[in-house]
A and B are shown apart, each in its own frame.
Chain A
Amino acid sequence: DIQMTQSPSSLSASVGDRVTITCRASQSISSYLNWYQQKPGKAPKLLIYAASSLQSGVPSRFSGSGSGTDFTLTISSLQPEDFATYYCQQSYSTHRFTFGPGTKVDIK
């Protein structure tokens, strides 16, 4: 099975900061990588698919990059509504799409 890791597990940042979250796969997954945002008590929301494709309606301050085993999610200028937990998910294994452990972004 493909294992996903994320770093850091949590971070504190201020409004306006540039934030970068890293996701690593245990084997090459090409660009089969999605990013989701989840706020407390809410369902996850798709941000990025295929490593770098922005989902419709998602603000352009969110961007994704990477391929192979190493990926990043970048928030160019953190907004108050961006404080949440972010999960990566691999979609390389045929319909067995495992998630990373999550990165919690909170207010400094």
Chain B
Amino acid sequence: GNSVTQMEGPVTLSEEAFLTINCTYTATGYPSLFWYVQYPGEGLQLLLKATKADDKGSNKGFEATYRKETTSFHLEKGSVQVSDSAVYFCALSRTDSWGKLQFGAGTQVVVTP
């Protein structure tokens, strides 16, 4: 089946620190991989995506590389800001059922000034 495992939070960082959120997945076939961000009280926004192995998704200073050999899609940002405080979800497009996403548990990130 399809599953996504991401590191538990909360992750608390100081402004300008380096952020890594680990995400690994299991899936048959070749899923697309996504990172979504949810700011307090809001819905989900697509942060970045990668559709095939070795693709690197990037947006707003965040990056993640689709690593098929390690079945991973870790999210990184070199210098976080207070405005990056949110919950981050790793997700994959299910290969057993078109159009559906399988989400990780979410990682809360808190950035302090």
* A, B from the same assembly: no
